[in-house]
Amino acid sequence: MEPVASVLTQHAEEAAFLWLLRDQAVERPQYNLRTLTELDERVEAHLDGLRVAGEHGWQAAWAQFEAHPEPGEAFAVAALAFQAADPGRTQQVLERAFASPALVRAAVSAHGWLSGDDALIQSSITGSSLEPSSRLMTVAGSAIQRFHPGPILAKSLRSEDPQLRARAMKAAGELGDTTVLPLVRAGLTAKELDVRFAAAWTVARLTGDPSAAAELQTIAVTESRFLRRAAEMAVRILSPSAARSWIGMLDTLSGCERLAIHTMSAFGDPVAIPQLIERMKTPALARAAGEAFSFITGIHLTNAKLEGAEPEGFEAGPTEDPEDDRVAIDPDDGLAWPDAALAKKWWDANRKQFPPGVRHLSGRPINSEHLKAILKSGYQRQRAAAAIELAIRNSRQPLFEVRAPGWRQASEC
C-alpha cells in the first residue's frame, strides 16, 4: 500500500519547520545540549518518516521544496539525498540550493546531519566534481564533520571563487590545519570582506598573530558584517593590556557601546561588571549587558531573581548584521531584562569571589577543565565561547562544533 500522501507532506513540512527552529536554537541563550538534543530528535523523527517511505518520501519532500524553496525545505531534501548517497539527487539539490547563501547553509547543515560513514561517502560524491558549488559543499561538509577533506582544501584556498576561498579558510581554522597557513595568510589582504574575515579569524585562532588581531579590530569597527565575531576573537588573542585598552576605547566611542559590551563578555574580566551594570540602565543595551554580566559571573538572572520588567513602550532596534539571514529583528530576543539595582546589590555582596584581572567564563576563571565542563552543561552561547577558548589553547585540535546534532556532541564531550 502506498503511503498516505498527506502524512508524508506533514513529515516534510514538520522537518522543515523544526529545522528552522533548530537553526535558531544553536545560538539562542535558553538552549543547552539537552534541550538541543530533544529538538534534534524531533527533526530526525520526521526525516525518518520520509526515509522509510522511499521514493514517495523523496517526492513529498521535493514537492514541498519546489512549492516553498526556503532553507527548511532545502535542509529536508538535502538530508534525504545525502543520506541515500544519490549523486543525481545530490546534484539536483545543489543546483537549486546555490541560488542563495541561505539555501547553501541549509544544505551544508544537512551534510552535518550525516553519520561519519555517510558523510565520507557524500564528500566523495561532491568532491569528484570540479564545480565550485560541489567543492564548497565538500569543504564545508567535511569541516562541520571535523574531518579533513584532503588536497581539495589547499586547492580551494587558491580558488578564484571568493565564496569557496572564504569557506576553505574558515575550514582550516575549524580543523586546526596549520600546514595551509601560508595560503590562509594571503587572504589577510584580500579585497573581499568574506575572505579577509575568514583569513583573520583562522590565523588568529591558529597562531594568535597580532596582525590578524589588528585586521579583526578593523573589521569590527568599520563593517556591519562579522563585527561581533571579529571583536570577540580579537580580544581573546590580544595581550591583556591591549584588550583592556581596546575595550575601553570602544566603550567611549559613539555607536560602539553594544560592541564594547560584547568584548567585555568575551574577555571576561570582572573589572567590567560595574560598567555593565550601568549599561543595564539603557533599554537598548540592557539585555546585552545582562547577558555579559551572566557570562562573567555565571549567574542566571531569572533564577537569581535579578530580572526586571521590560521598559514600557520599548521597541527593539535592528540587528547588528543586516545581511545575516538567521538573526531575529530583535538582536537580544530570548534574553532576560536585568534589574540594574538588584544586579548591583548582588555584585556588592559577591564581588570578592571574582578577582579582578582574571578572565572568567560562567562564574569561574578560564581553564581547560572548566571549559570542558561548560561544553557538557552550559547554554549554547557559553558553550560556543568555551569551544573557541579551548581551540585557541590547542591550535592543532579541531574546534568543537556546538551546532552539530546533539547526540553526536554528547558522545564527544
Which of these three, 183, 205, 238, is where a domain ends?
Answer: 238
Residue 137 lies in a domain: yes
Helices marked H in 268-397 — which ranges? 273-279, 283-297, 340-350, 368-377, 380-393
Distance CA 57, CA 212 (A): 48
Per-chain mean pLDDT for the chain = 92
Considering only CA atoms, which of 125, 123, 155 is closest in space to residue 140? 123
Residue 35 lies in a domain: yes
Do 184 and 215 lie in a common domain? Answer: yes
**Tell me, what's the pLDDT at 1?**
41
Rounded to two decimals, what is the model's pTM?
A: 0.92
Whether residue 328 is predicted with pLDDT greater than 70 in this model: the reply is no
**Tell me, what's the pLDDT at 316?**
76
Residue 192 to residues 157, 173, 181, 195, 199: CA-CA distances in angstroms?
A: 14, 18, 18, 5, 11
How do residues 236-254 score in pLDDT, each as one tens digit? 999 999 999 999 999 999 9
**Tell me, what's the pLDDT at 132?**
74
**Tell me, what's the pLDDT at 320?**
54
**Tell me, what's the pLDDT at 413?**
84
Residue 159 lies in a domain: no
Ramachandran assignment for 390, one of left (phi > 0), alpha (psi -120 to 50 degrees), beta (any other): alpha
What kind and span of H or E run contains 123? helix 116-127
Do 6 and 127 lie in a common domain? Answer: yes
Whether residue 327 is predicted with pLDDT greater than 70 in this model: the reply is no
Question: How many structural domains compose the chain?
Answer: 3
Helices marked H in 131-192 — which ranges? 132-145, 152-157, 162-175, 181-185
Do 121 and 180 lie in a common domain? Answer: no
Residue 410 to residues 33, 35, 38, 381, 407: CA-CA distances in angstroms?
A: 8, 12, 12, 17, 5
Distance CA 159, CA 149 (A): 15
Which of these three, 203, 238, 273, is where a domain ends?
Answer: 238
- Give the confidence band of 389 by pLDDT, cuts at 50, 70, 90: very high
SS3 32: strand
Q: Which residue has the higher pLDDT, 311 or 327?
A: 311
Question: How far is Cα of residue 283 from the mean position of the Cα atoms in its chain?
Answer: 26
Provide the CATH number for the domain around residue 226: 1.25.10
Task: Give me the domain span that covers residue 209.
Answer: 173-238
Whether residue 3 is predicted with pLDDT greater than 70 in this model: the reply is no
Average pLDDT for 399-406: 96
Residue 317 lies in a domain: no
Do 296 and 216 lie in a common domain? Answer: no
How do residues 138-183 score in pLDDT, each as one tens digit? 899 999 999 999 999 999 999 999 999 999 999 999 999 999 999 9
Do 222 and 110 lie in a common domain? Answer: no
| Strand partners for 307 | 338
Do 142 and 2 lie in a common domain? Answer: yes
What kind and span of H or E run contains 364? strand 364-365
* Cβ 127 vs Cβ 164: under 8 Å: no
On the CB side of 55, CA atoms within 13 Å amount to 1
**Tell me, what's the pLDDT at 37?**
97
What dihedral do alpha carbons 168, 71, 130, 180 form, nearest 10°?
10
Do 196 and 140 lie in a common domain? Answer: no
Residue 392 lies in a domain: no
Do 5 and 142 lie in a common domain? Answer: yes
Ramachandran assignment for 314, one of left (phi > 0), alpha (psi -120 to 50 degrees), beta (any other): beta
**Tell me, what's the pLDDT at 180?**
97
Lookup result for grid cell 546531519: 113
Kindly state the percentage of the chain with pLDDT values over 70: 93
Residue 160 lies in a domain: no
Do 217 and 248 lie in a common domain? Answer: no
Do 234 and 245 lie in a common domain? Answer: no
Each as own residue / partner, the long-range contacts of residues 297-300 (CB below 8 Å, 24 or more positions apart, any chain) are 297/270, 297/273, 297/347, 297/350, 297/354, 297/360, 297/363, 298/360, 298/362, 298/363, 298/364, 299/346, 299/363
Do 226 and 107 lie in a common domain? Answer: no
Do 244 and 220 lie in a common domain? Answer: no
Whether residue 363 is predicted with pLDDT greater than 90 in this model: the reply is yes
How do residues 67-123 score in pLDDT, each as one tens digit? 999 999 999 999 999 998 888 898 899 889 888 889 999 999 999 998 877 766 776
Helices marked H in 68-100 — which ranges? 71-83, 87-97
* Cβ 155 vs Cβ 169: under 8 Å: no
Average pLDDT for 12-34: 96
Residue 341 lies in a domain: yes
Which of these three, 146, 163, 183, is where a domain ends?
Answer: 146
Q: Which residue has the higher pLDDT, 311 or 128?
A: 311
How do residues 277-309 score in pLDDT, each as one tens digit? 999 999 999 999 999 999 999 999 999 999 999
**Tell me, what's the pLDDT at 319?**
56
**Tell me, what's the pLDDT at 314?**
82
Residue 64 lies in a domain: yes
Considering only CA atoms, which of 180, 126, 130, 123 is closest in space to residue 154? 180
Kindly state the percentage of the chain with pLDDT values over 90: 80
